[in-house]
Amino acid sequence: MTHKVLLLPGDGIGPEIAAQAARLLKACQEAGLDIEVEEALVGGSAYDVHGEPLPAETLEKAKAASAILLGAVGGPKWDKIEDLSKRPEKGLLGLRKNLGLFGNLRPAMLYPQLASASSLKPELVAGLDIMIVRELTGGIYFGQPRGIEVRNGERVGFNTYIYSESEIERIGRVAFEMAQKRGKKLCSVDKANVLEVTILWREVMERLAPEYPDVELSHMYVDNAAMQLVRAPKQFDVVVTGNMFGDILSDAAAMLTGSIGMLPSASLNESGQGMYEPCHGSAPDIAGQNVANPLAMMLSVAMMLRYSLNEQAMAERIEAAVGSVLDDGLRTADIASEGMQTIGTDAMGDAVLAA
């Protein structure tokens, strides 16, 4: 059966790195992978053409695809759009919500070749390998009621942080299963000393724990988790948390590696359909200059092969190719260091394909 892959380049450096992913997909096809690749617009670039960050056509294609590869969305060009529902970010949030991509896997792992890129002392991050499991279609991102309105003679802004038991259970199971495949340690992050919604979160995690007796479950308050990530990140194996805390902690964790340009992510729904994207953003400041690091995007292809297309071997080949390119001393500007050769986006794509 031919798998449909939808490529959504998006904004900023998105198109440049997506171009490298497209070349990689072609190479996979040549190596026997049975896929059909389509492209569509999302984010600011979709807004510019259709007046919508998520045009109906893009959403239809996304629904029909086995997997989606997304570059990045957003940029200052669209920051002034008054109507929040038209902003580039809503293209991304709309895809997540409409496809039910509730399970966001954000690995923060340090490539040994890039150990010196971390802002932390080498001994604290050597071998770092954390998997953050973030709930992606609920919580305060989507909670109702929300808005800005006049109350008692002045404007108030409000959002609702809400989770149901079934939403918590669903992401909890993803995290427990992930921990079973990894180091068997799961840390659930909440603010149960203040927020009722996270009291329920903690309770559901506790209820699930006996079903995964091989996994050691712990709980941590989000403020402490932010501290512990800075202090001793290697204490973590799998971390599970809600949408907002996951946004903050996964970015902090990614930055611990010093090479966010290397990190892919996956967002999965209940039927295994997935969207894959780099952890980094659209970096509008360096867009169009052929300097962006395409590796997170190319590793997103590997992640897609692993989680949505069940092509482990090919995923490993890509990951190995990236490793060998780093071994060869090739670096894009974001991960440049003394004695290494700094190359552009295209050249990095070439190197990975060659490897």
Ligand X SMILES: CC(C)[C@H](C(=O)O)[C@@H](O)C(=O)O
Q: Binding-site residues for Mg(2+), please?
A: 223, 247, 251
**Does residue 262 bind a copy of itself (CB under 8 A)?**
no
Q: For this structure, is 11 an active site residue?
A: no
Binding residues: 96, 106, 134, 223, 247, 251, 281-293
Residues in region 219-258 near ligand X by CB under 6 A: 223, 247
Provide DSSP, 185-222: EEEEEE-TTT-HHHHHHHHHHHHHGGG-TTSEEEEEEH
Q: What does residue 222 show for φ and ψ, rounded to 5 degrees? A: -65, -35
202-208 own/partner pairs: CB under 8 Å, 24+ apart: 204/165, 204/168, 204/169, 204/172, 205/168, 205/172, 205/240, 207/169, 208/169, 208/172, 208/173, 208/176
The one-letter amino acid at 301: V
**Does residue 188 bind a copy of itself (CB under 8 A)?**
no
Using alpha carbons, select from 108, 110, 79, 175 the residue that is nearest to residue 136. 175
Q: For this structure, is 251 an active site residue?
A: yes
Determine which residue in the list 96, 191, 306, 331 makes contact with a copy of itself, applying CB under 8 A.
191
Beta bridge partners of 8: 70
**Residue 34 DSSP one-character state:** -
Q: Residues binding ligand X: what is the number (CB under 6 A)?
A: 8
- Least distance between ligand X and beta carbon 73 (Å): 6
Residue-level length of the chain:
355
Binding mask 68-97 for a copy of itself (x = CB under 8 A): ------x---------x--x-x---x----
Q: For this structure, is 247 an active site residue?
A: yes
- Least distance between a copy of itself and beta carbon 38 (Å): 27
Q: For this structure, is 191 an active site residue?
A: yes
Task: Show the beta-strand stretches assigned E in 181-321.
Answer: 185-190, 216-221, 238-241, 264-268, 274-278
d(CA 62, CA 216) in angstroms, rounded, equals 37
Owner of token pair 């996951």: 246
Determine which residue in the list 38, 39, 48, 89 makes contact with ligand X, applying CB under 6 A.
89
**Does residue 194 bind ligand X (CB under 6 A)?**
yes
**Does residue 320 bind ligand X (CB under 6 A)?**
no
Residue (164 or 271) nearer to a copy of itself, CB? 164
Q: For this structure, is 141 an active site residue?
A: yes
Q: Residues binding a copy of itself: what is the number (CB under 8 A)?
A: 61
Burial of 5 (0-12, 13-18, 19+ CB in 10 A): buried
**Does residue 235 bind a copy of itself (CB under 8 A)?**
no
Q: Which residues bind a copy of itself (CB under 8 A)?
A: 74, 84, 87, 89, 93, 119-121, 124, 140-141, 143, 146-148, 151, 154-166, 191, 193-201, 222-224, 226-227, 229-232, 244-245, 247-252, 254-256, 258, 260
